[in-house]
Structure 1
Amino acid sequence: MTEDADSALGRAERRLLRRIYNGRTVPIIADDRSFLTYKEASRYLLSLTPEAREKAYAAMKSGAVDGPGSL
């Protein structure tokens, strides 16, 4: 396994992010940044360290459940 594969988002994470951001009209706030599309969110997550990525992913997941237009 390469270093790039270790830093990539897993299949489950990618699928959930796609569900969260599909057709979203209200952005999700994570790390004091707003994300409206899957691409914005995934690019940001991939730029983080694994520990920071977990926290930001959890914040996005929580924001989708707590915010308007939730799953």
Structure 2
Amino acid sequence: MLRFRLKELIADKEFRDGRVITMVEIAERTGIHRLTLSRLANKRGYNPTADVLDRLCNYFHCRIEQLVEHIPDQDLPEVKI
């Protein structure tokens, strides 16, 4: 499963900038719909497009690894490639 660290990135940016960062502000600056941001932050298993991830990385000036974390599924058998 992929875990999106949007809330953590927002909190870090708020701390650095010394102000509140809203989903509306992020939506306006990135061109990502507010509902998409809300789903990304709150809905487990949400599957955003690569364009959305790219825009967020640009907005937060971060690498993809800072936005997305892979959490291995405990119930699935390990697949060897």
TM-score range, shorter chain: 0.3 to 0.5
Larger relative helix fraction: 1
**Which structure has the bigger radius of gyration?**
2
TM-score, length basis structure 2: 0.34
- Higher-RCO chain (CA-CA 8 Å, sequence separation at least 6): 2
TM-score, normalised to structure 1, is 0.37
